[in-house]
């Protein structure tokens, strides 16, 4: 498995991994019908834009296929902190080491960008991801917010990590 920085040409494959992973991981949250309605083309355009804008996006590649990706940057709703924006692995790559490898790269990138502390937001009812973050040294800090995705109100909880 190779980890490398994403380029704009990866946007379609990243959008595919993003969508398939939502469909596999969030059926209990959104229902299969809403997940089937995700507009992959719109997600592709979004990924192409953020990669072109220089957002730190890394992909895990095996046999020429993207299996997982991660993205980081400044925290969107708090000054002075970094944020892990997304980390997604295709179900076939769960437990393969792709998630932990991308998490290491993300922490290194956040540090290189000058952050000593970072946050992430995770769907409250996503126990697999929460266990993964806790294994990786993140802890829930009590922050909560409600956001609408695919027309469903979802509670997200905030996790935090000290990077140094």
Ligand X SMILES: CC(C)(COP(=O)(O)OP(=O)(O)OC[C@H]1O[C@@H](n2cnc3c(N)ncnc32)[C@H](O)[C@@H]1OP(=O)(O)O)[C@@H](O)C(=O)NCCC(=O)NCCS
Q: Rule CB under 6 A: which residues touch ligand X?
A: 21, 25, 87-89, 91, 94-96, 98-100, 122, 126, 128-129, 131-132, 135
Pairwise CA distance, residues 107 & 100, whole Å? 11
Instruction: Provide the minimum distance between the beta carbon of 68 and ligand X in the complex, in angstroms, as a whole number.
Output: 6
Tell me which DSSP letter residue 106 carries: H
Instruction: Provide the minimum distance between the beta carbon of 35 and ligand X in the complex, in angstroms, as a whole number.
Output: 12
Instruction: Provide the minimum distance between the beta carbon of 94 and ligand X in the complex, in angstroms, as a whole number.
Output: 4
Ranked by CB distance to ligand X, the top (closest) residue is: 99
Q: Which is nearer to ligand X, 135 or 162 (by Cβ)? A: 135
Instruction: Provide the minimum distance between the beta carbon of 106 and ligand X in the complex, in angstroms, as a whole number.
Output: 11
Instruction: Provide the minimum distance between the beta carbon of 4 and ligand X in the complex, in angstroms, as a whole number.
Output: 17
Q: Which is nearer to ligand X, 9 or 28 (by Cβ)? A: 28
Best CA proximity match to 78, nearest among 119, 107, 124, 106: 119
Residue 99: its H or E element: helix 98-112
Q: Dihedral (C-alpha) 44, 73, 129, 158: value to the nearest 10 degrees? A: -130
Q: Which is nearer to ligand X, 38 or 98 (by Cβ)? A: 98
> Any idea what the Cα angle at residue 141 is, between residues 119 and 74, rounded to 5°?
15
Tell me which DSSP letter residue 91 carries: G
Best CA proximity match to 108, nearest among 58, 60, 157, 65: 58
Q: Which is nearer to ligand X, 11 or 90 (by Cβ)? A: 90
Q: Which is nearer to ligand X, 51 or 123 (by Cβ)? A: 123
Residue 154 β-bridge partners = 147
């Amino acid at each position: 498995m190779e980890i490398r920085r994403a380029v704009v040409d990866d946007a379609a494959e990243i959008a595919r991994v993003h969508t398939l992973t939502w469909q596999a991981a969030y059926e209990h949250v959104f229902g299969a019908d809403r997940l089937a309605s995700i507009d992959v083309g719109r997600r592709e355009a979004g990924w192409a834009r953020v990669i072109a804008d220089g957002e730190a996006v890394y992909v895990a590649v095996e046999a020429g296929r993207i299996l997982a990706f991660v993205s980081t940057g400044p925290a969107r709703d708090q000054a002075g902190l970094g944020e892990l924006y997304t980390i997604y692995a295709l179900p076939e790559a769960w437990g393969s080491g792709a998630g932990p490898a991308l998490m290491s790269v993300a922490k290194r990138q956040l540090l290189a960008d000058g952050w000593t502390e970072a946050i992430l937001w995770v769907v409250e009812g996503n126990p697999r991801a929460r266990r993964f973050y806790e294994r990786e040294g993140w802890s829930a800090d009590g922050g909560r917010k409600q956001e609408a995705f695919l027309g469903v109100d979802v509670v997200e909880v905030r996790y935090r990590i000290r990077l140094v």
